[in-house]
Amino acid sequence: MVLVDHVRCTYCGSCVSVCPMGALELAETRLIVDQSCVDCGLCLNACPTGALYAGPLPGAETGGPGLPLRRHYDVIVVGAGPGGSVAAWEAARRGLSVLLLEKRQEIGSPVRCAEGVAHEQLISFIAPDPRWISATVTRAQFTVVGDDGLTHTTGGGGGLGYVLERRVFDRTLAEEAASAGAEVRVKTAATALVLDDGLVRGVRVRGPGGETDVECQVVIGADGVEARVGAWAGLDTTLRQRDTMSCAQFLLAGIDVDPACTCYYIGMSVAPGGYAWVFPKGDGRANVGLGVQADVAERPALDYLVRFVESQPHLAQGSPVTLVTGGVPVAPPPSRMVTDGLMLVGDAARQVDPLTGGGIVNAMTAGRLAAEVAAECIAAGDVSAAALSAYETRWLAGWGRRLARRYRLKERFPPPARASRECMRVFTVAVGGK
Ligand SMILES: Cc1cc2nc3c(=O)[nH]c(=O)nc-3n(C[C@H](O)[C@H](O)[C@H](O)COP(=O)(O)OP(=O)(O)OC[C@H]3O[C@@H](n4cnc5c(N)ncnc54)[C@H](O)[C@@H]3O)c2cc1C
């Protein structure tokens, strides 16, 4: 029977089209070969990446295809989300040799985000560009939904902001990193850290060409909510259920929404411990989603979302053209974000706003800060945890302090109290990016 190398497979379906037995099935991002395969081999030639094989994996001994890597870089960044790409961009801009690794085949896809950012926070990184902006928003509306179903709506906060097209936005940041000199690799994952006497000395990298160890002076772990890099280095980044928002979102098309207003819905019946949002995307579309606190919700987030959409006549008339799911860490920062030769940024360091779940600009800010500190420490010839802790200190003096305050506020208002007038006031300010 034909076998699939899932590292190489790019789920294009070319093999399925030539199989005379119907033995292959593309189940979204999983290629399945069933028992009816007769080893005719037709699919092997149709595969553009050499992911199908009968017998030994071709290319395993030679390293196979795939772009070459150097043996050593100053900095290796794991994960090309906003945090990782900005870190790579900044480090390369400062003259360091940089490798940016992304395990997915397309940076920015699939999207796991409602795509809202505040103008003020974004502009210190990149000038707003219509290529990656779906909608410009100027207003916000807040609806509290009581347990009896009665609603109370107020306007306020908001401020100038954007609903991004993150597929394009994330890729643009990686392109900026490449333009500054970073080497970017897609479908290339970090699978372990290279350790020498407990010190981080590099990254084990697995790509279409096989697996190899690459050395560096500093690793920046920007591997998102599913982060493993920190744990490999002995940093505890495990999330408690109560600090995890479980989210589901539809991109709804064919709806009538205010194109310049973001809407928030808060109430235990809508989204226990979290909230629902409607973020306009232009052309009669909107990101309509919600997050529920994992230990409080009685059903999966998607069930709450379906119920929410059905309860809103102006949304119920639309069609979901995309389903987004994801987890958001709404946790305090881990006790350490650095160790010898390693720093964590973005969702990997749990640097999300615990009240709003926003983390795009937070990750970018941390990425820039980590790259600055990496450059200083490499120049000084000291990448020990003590030297790199300048990153923790600078983070905690700015954004970190604000997020710690937000976490304390989240804890002060247990889920049923989040619709209270006092909590809504705090939430309104937080949503405005203040
Ligand atoms: C439903 C939902 C809605 C959201 N809405 C908003 C919003 O409106 N506004 C906002 O500001 N934030 C929002 N967020 C949060 C925001 O998406 C994240 O905070 C942000 O993407 C964090 O950026 P990052 O660079 O840290 O991580 P990510 O964007 O998650 O990027 C991490 C990258 O690392 C890659 N990676 C992981 N492991 C490896 C590995 N071993 N090797 C190589 N690559 C690896 C991943 O494939 C990924 O591309 C939302 C999140 C969710 C789930």
Query: Measured on CA atoms in the order 352, 353, 358, 361, is the torsion positive or negative?
Result: negative
CA count, 13 A, side-chain hemisphere, 219: 32
Q: Domains in the chain, please, with CATH?
A: 3-53 (3.30.70.20), 72-110+167-239+332-397 (3.50.50.60), 135-154+241-329 (3.30.9.10)
The pLDDT score that the predictor gives to residue 58 is 61
pTM beyond cutoff 0.75: yes
pLDDT digits (tens, 9 = 90+) for 249-289: 999 999 999 999 999 999 999 999 999 999 999 999 999 99
Least confident of 19-23, 113-117, 208-212: 208-212
pLDDT digits (tens, 9 = 90+) for 380-414: 999 999 999 999 999 999 999 999 999 999 999 99
CA distances from 335 to 187, 339, 389, 396 (A): 31, 11, 12, 11
Ligand 1 atom 26, closest CA: 346
350 and 333 Cβ atoms separated by less than 8 Å: yes
State the distance from the centre of ligand 1 to the C-alpha of 59, rounded, in angstroms. Answer: 32
Ligand 1 atom 33, closest CA: 79
Ligand 1 atom 34, closest CA: 79
pLDDT digits (tens, 9 = 90+) for 160-196: 999 999 999 999 999 999 999 999 999 999 999 999 9
| Ligand 1 pocket: which of 328, 365, 395 to mutate (most atoms within 8 A of CB) | 328
- Per-residue pLDDT for 40 more than 60? yes
The pLDDT score that the predictor gives to residue 433 is 61
State the distance from the centre of ligand 1 to the C-alpha of 224, rounded, in angstroms. Answer: 5
112 and 324 Cβ atoms separated by less than 8 Å: yes
Instruction: Give the chain's mean pLDDT.
Output: 93
The pLDDT score that the predictor gives to residue 231 is 95
Start-to-end CA span in the chain (Å): 58
Higher pLDDT, 62 or 363: 363
